[in-house]
């Protein structure tokens, strides 16, 4: 069962790091959850939003005859389904030299108020796309279109991106460390642990410096260390 990803939940995720989110999701048994080979091409910008998905396949004339339907083509269905703050995640089969879109196609994301785009393929016209206010994570940037290598096939289905399964409605969390996928059903359980873990780590760093000891004395935090932290706050 999916948790409702409310604006309040999204704001909570914006206050934590992708690294700690990775630890929180992994401890719940969801591994892989970190996208391999997908980098932030808008350095310093964070990306948190619900996923809308688009799957690409190698071009084939008979399939293209079915899917190339102008404004009803899969890429425009996927982008058109985005609500403000959503993230378009594209399975580009890791073709880091082939673009999933450029300044003209991705203009629709700007018009829909999307937060950003994520792909394990490439983006072209990147400098213009960044001017749209989109946060961009990709395998690379390229001058090449995708027509000879990848072609849009399905919108809002389960896909693979950067080696991670992504379903529409999952939460995408990214910063300069990379992209983590939080399955929709564990967004609440994950953030509850993540928030406390970041607080514990800050407390532990203080202890390490105060006592002038090796980080190994307190890190990684044991259950006993976490309990000691809670007691220091007066938690029961």
Same domain, 42 and 71: yes
Region of 203 please: left (phi>0), alpha (psi -120 to 50) or beta.
Answer: alpha
pTM: 0.96
Instruction: Tell me the two tokens of residue 172.
Output: 């995408």
Domain that holds residue 141: 32-182
pLDDT at position 1 is 39
Same domain, 177 and 202: no
Answer whether 39's CB lies under 8 Å from 141's CB.
no
Domain count, the chain: 2
- Helix (H), strand (E) at residue 25: helix 18-26
Q: How many Å apart are CA 146 and CA 189, to the nearest integer?
A: 39
Whether residue 73 is predicted with pLDDT greater than 50 in this model: the reply is yes
Mean pLDDT across the stretch 9-22?
A: 98
Do residue 105 and residue 127 come from a single domain?
yes
> Model confidence over 80-121: pLDDT tens digits?
999 999 999 999 999 999 999 999 999 999 999 999 999 999
Confidence of residue 147 (pLDDT cuts 50, 70, 90): confident
The answer to the question of residue 7 being in a domain is no
Distance CA 139, CA 118 (A): 9
Say if residue 201 is exposed, middle or buried (CB neighbours under 10 Å; 0-12, 13-18, 19+).
middle
pLDDT grade for 174, boundaries at 50, 70 and 90: very high
Q: Is 54 helix (H, G, I), strand (E, B) or coil?
A: strand
Phi, psi of 65 (to 5 degrees): -65, -25
């Amino acid at each position: 069962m999916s948790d409702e990803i409310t604006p309040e939940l999204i704001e909570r995720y914006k206050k934590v790091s992708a690294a700690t989110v990775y630890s929180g999701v992994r401890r719940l048994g969801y591994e892989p959850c970190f996208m391999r080979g997908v980098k932030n091409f808008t350095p310093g910008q964070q990306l948190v939003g619900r996923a809308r998905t688009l799957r690409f396949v190698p071009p084939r004339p008979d399939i293209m005859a079915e899917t190339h339907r102008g404004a009803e083509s899969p890429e425009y269905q996927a982008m058109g389904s985005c609500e403000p703050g959503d993230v378009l995640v594209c399975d580009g089969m890791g073709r880091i030299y082939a673009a999933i879109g450029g300044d003209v196609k991705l203009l629709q994301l700007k018009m829909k108020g999307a937060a950003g785009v994520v792909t394990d393929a490439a983006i072209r016209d990147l400098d213009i796309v960044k001017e749209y206010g989109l946060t961009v994570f990709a395998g690379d940037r390229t001058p090449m279109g995708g027509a000879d290598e990848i072609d849009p096939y399905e919108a809002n289905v389960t896909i693979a991106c950067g080696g991670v399964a992504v379903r529409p409605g999952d939460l995408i969390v990214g910063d300069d460390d990379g992209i983590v996928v939080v399955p929709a059903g564990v967004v609440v359980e994950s953030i509850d642990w993540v928030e406390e873990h970041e607080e514990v780590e800050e407390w532990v760093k203080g202890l390490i410096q105060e006592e002038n000891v090796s980080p190994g004395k307190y890190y990684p935090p044991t259950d006993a260390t976490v309990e000691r932290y809670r007691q220091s706050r007066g938690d029961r």
